[in-house]
Amino acid sequence: MGDHIKKLNIQQNLAKDEDMSVIKELFVNPKYSYNIKHIAYVLKDYILIAILYIIFSIHFVNNIFNCIAPITNGSEIILIVIKGIVFAIIFYILKNLTLAFK
């Protein structure tokens, strides 16, 4: 299973001054905080793609596509192509929707 929280070793000593200076430099210095915000902005697209991929991988979604477009019942390739097109459209809408509110 895992360790119980009560049994974990906890260090009571404070962070060293050099460690604190690195932390302050990363999060307080505008030059580095811009980089962190930029990385978060870039990762947003990949996270959105991952979430959409997980949603479109669910078997329930395949059943929905089979009900909406009966042509997908006979061929897995047609189902994949249609899901890919819908995936691209939803990604484009969500990406531009976030840009509209920026």
**Could you list the pLDDT tens digit for every one of the 102 residues in the chain?**
566 777 767 777 777 777 777 777 766 766 655 677 777 777 888 888 999 999 999 999 989 988 998 888 888 899 999 999 999 999 999 888 866 666
Task: Using alpha carbons, list the distances in angstroms from residue 16 to 20, 32, 54, 62, 90.
Answer: 6, 21, 42, 54, 48
Check: CB of residue 82 under 8 Å from CB of residue 72.
Answer: yes
CB atoms within 10 A of CB 98: 13
User: So what's the pLDDT on residue 18?
Assistant: 79
User: So what's the pLDDT on residue 81?
Assistant: 92
- Least Cα distance to 23 among 36, 40, 12, 9 occurs for 36
How far apart are alpha carbons 100 and 94 in whole angstroms?
10
